[in-house]
């Protein structure tokens, strides 16, 4: 039992250090851009030597991939919970939009990387990330389709195009949201949802 506990502690410390490095990379990538950032820059940000960084992360690209995977996995988990808890598909869609706006406002540095650095991923690494994105979009699309099927309503555009339009509006707030402004992330999300929902009747 002592050995197992000690091993768990070592593993926990390693995981904590990996997370510290990843958080530092998010800050540097967001400020300087992925291509202009070196592993030396990440090491300096977190206060470690470059060899120490490589003990936890093999390449700068590994850090970038992990950022994408973490954001998309968390987004998908949140979306599924929201839809499952919603009393109706329409409320599920509303909750998804509110959450997407709030999450984007609260993680502007992460979303800046995700939206602006995708071209840095080689195709073999980009495809699994795109699959995660498609899975998230499918949750939103399914909520819209369920609402339309249940009400007999139609949209003036294809449901997929409508979903992409709504998510585009929600995601773009990373560019302009001001944390020092009058609205909290969730308040802005509620306003965005209030503008988009009338299209669904």
**What are the residue ranges spanned by the domains of the chain?**
1-58, 60-200
C-alpha angle 191-175-136 in degrees, rounded to nearest 5: 70
The DSSP letter of residue 120 is: G
Token pair for residue 198?
């009338």
CATH superfamily ID and name for 1-58: Homeodomain-like (1.10.10.60)
C-alpha angle 111-139-196 in degrees, rounded to nearest 5: 70
Predicted pLDDT at 11: 60
Task: Judge whether 1-58 and 60-200 match in fold.
Answer: no
Residue 158 exposure: Cα atoms within 13 Å on the Cβ side: 3
Unique residue bearing structure tokens 């995708």: 118
pLDDT one-digit tens code per residue, 141-161 = 999 999 999 999 999 999 999
Q: Give me the architecture of the 60-200 domain, per CATH.
A: Orthogonal Bundle (1.10)
Inter-residue contact 147 to 75 (CB < 8 Å):
no
CB proximity list for 59: less than 8 A, separation 6 or greater: 39
Inter-residue contact 117 to 34 (CB < 8 Å):
yes
State the CB neighbour count (10 A cutoff) for residue 43: 19
**pLDDT: is 113 or 201 the higher one?**
113
Strand, helix or coil at 134?
helix
Mean pLDDT to the nearest integer, 76-89: 98
Whether residue 4 is predicted with pLDDT greater than 90 in this model: the reply is no
């Amino acid at each position: 039992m002592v050995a197992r506990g000690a091993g768990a502690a070592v593993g926990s410390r390693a995981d904590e250090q990996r997370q510290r490095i990843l958080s530092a990379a998010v800050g540097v990538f967001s400020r300087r851009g992925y291509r202009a950032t070196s592993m030396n820059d990440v090491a300096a940000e977190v206060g470690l030597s470059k060899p120490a960084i490589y003990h936890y992360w093999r390449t700068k690209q590994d850090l970038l991939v992990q950022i994408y995977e973490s954001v998309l996995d968390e987004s998908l988990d949140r979306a599924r919970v929201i839809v499952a808890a919603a009393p109706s598909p329409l409320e599920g869609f509303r909750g998804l939009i509110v959450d997407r706006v709030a999450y984007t406002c609260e993680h502007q540095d992460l979303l800046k990387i995700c939206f602006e650095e995708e071209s840095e991923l080689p195709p073999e690494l980009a495809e699994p990330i795109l699959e995660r994105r498609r899975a998230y979009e499918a949750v939103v699309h399914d909520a819209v389709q369920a609402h339309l099927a249940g009400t007999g309503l139609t949209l003036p555009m294809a449901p997929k195009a409508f979903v992409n339009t709504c998510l585009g509006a929600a995601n773009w707030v990373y560019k302009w949201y001001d944390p020092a402004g009058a609205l909290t992330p969730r308040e802005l999300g509620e306003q965005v949802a209030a503008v988009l929902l009338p299209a669904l009747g």
